[in-house]
Amino acid sequence: MAASTYDELLEIPRGRGMLANDVADRIGPGLRVACGVAPDDSPALVRRKVGDRLGELCGRLPTDLRISVLAALALHPEADHQFMQDRMGWAAHHINRDHPRAAVRRMKVGFRIIAEQLDDLVDDPTINQGWHAVSLRALLRMDVDPPQLLEERTIVSTADGLEEVELRLSAPGGDDDSPINATVLYGGEITGSERVAPSHRKFALRLPAPLRAGEQHEYGVRFTAHPRAVMPPYYVLTPLQPCAKFSVRVRFAAVPARIWRVDGIPPRAIDDYAPDDALVSADRFGEVALEFSRLQQGLSYGVRWAAP
């Protein structure tokens, strides 16, 4: 019977954890796929790829779970003890618990959460793209016509030699094909585009230099599409890949009568989404700024508004 991803994670903390000489031999097949490990990768490269991916996922955990997991894996700079028991004792002290068993329990909870996220990566066909987003900062300017969307993304490569990433934008509205255009502000060059559907276009962005697995890169892009009069009254991100942080600012020309925070709902529910407890207010300059963290893949996050 094949070991689960959770079981594979439990194999790592023995001895020196990720610092052990034989750690590459203890990395199971599920972890190898989710972390972008190739069959011919050296032990040092396996250690780096797996360590970078696990360290990134740990960053999304609550503090007590994060400390316990990082210590167990020997990925915390202050917890590089030779034996797991000593590292868990250090973790227990730093989460204000008296016994290492308390940290071990939290380690197991954290491992289950991380295992679920790793399984999503394995099941996600977009993993073969070789990258995913760490964060997205968006500014939607509704005070110009047509509106402008400025997106700044930080991505992380999951494979060595990443030279190109794919950008996508859906812009429903109007009867004709969406006139979606993209201009790079920094961090790359658009080398091609393709209309996937009448309201959906994808772009190829060439990076300034190839990225190694685990290496991050930031780029900025400005999108334009429909005139303001036919643009749907929302802007949302629906991540198909992991995304830890998303912040959005909308600057309105005329402040809408009502504005809602869209916080993790099915995409098909956006048009009818209007709960009173999700209402937010614009500031004196007609701006709304929202932040989201630990986004769930396949759900939508952002802003929806009603007519002024």
Q: Which fold has domain 128-305?
A: Immunoglobulin-like (2.60.40)
Instruction: Please report, for residues 31, 80, 90, 149, 214, the alpha-carbon distance to residue 235 in angstroms, rounded to integers and kept in the order given.
Output: 35, 45, 45, 9, 30
Please tell me the predicted confidence (pLDDT) of residue 261.
96
Please tell me the predicted confidence (pLDDT) of residue 1.
43
Nearest to 89 by CA among 80, 98, 281: 98
Q: Tens place of pLDDT for every residue, the chain, 308 residues? A: 457 889 999 999 999 999 999 999 999 888 888 887 877 788 888 898 899 889 888 887 889 999 999 999 999 999 989 999 999 999 999 999 989 999 999 999 999 999 888 877 665 545 556 787 888 999 999 999 999 999 999 998 877 889 999 888 888 765 556 688 999 999 999 999 988 777 778 899 999 999 987 889 999 999 998 888 888 899 999 887 768 889 999 999 999 999 999 998 888 788 888 889 999 999 999 999 999 987 877 788 999 999 76
Please tell me the predicted confidence (pLDDT) of residue 123.
57
Contact status, residue 260 vs residue 304, Cβ threshold 8 Å: yes
**Which residues make up the CATH 2.60.40 domain(s) of the chain?**
128-305
Rounded (to 5) percent helix, strand, coil in the chain: 30, 35, 35
Please tell me the predicted confidence (pLDDT) of residue 235.
94
d(CA 111, CA 92): 16
Those residues with Cβ within 8 angstroms of residue 206's Cβ, 6 or more apart along the chain or in another chain: 163, 164, 188, 189, 190, 191
Query: How many other CB atoms sit within 10 Å of the CB of residue 201?
Result: 23
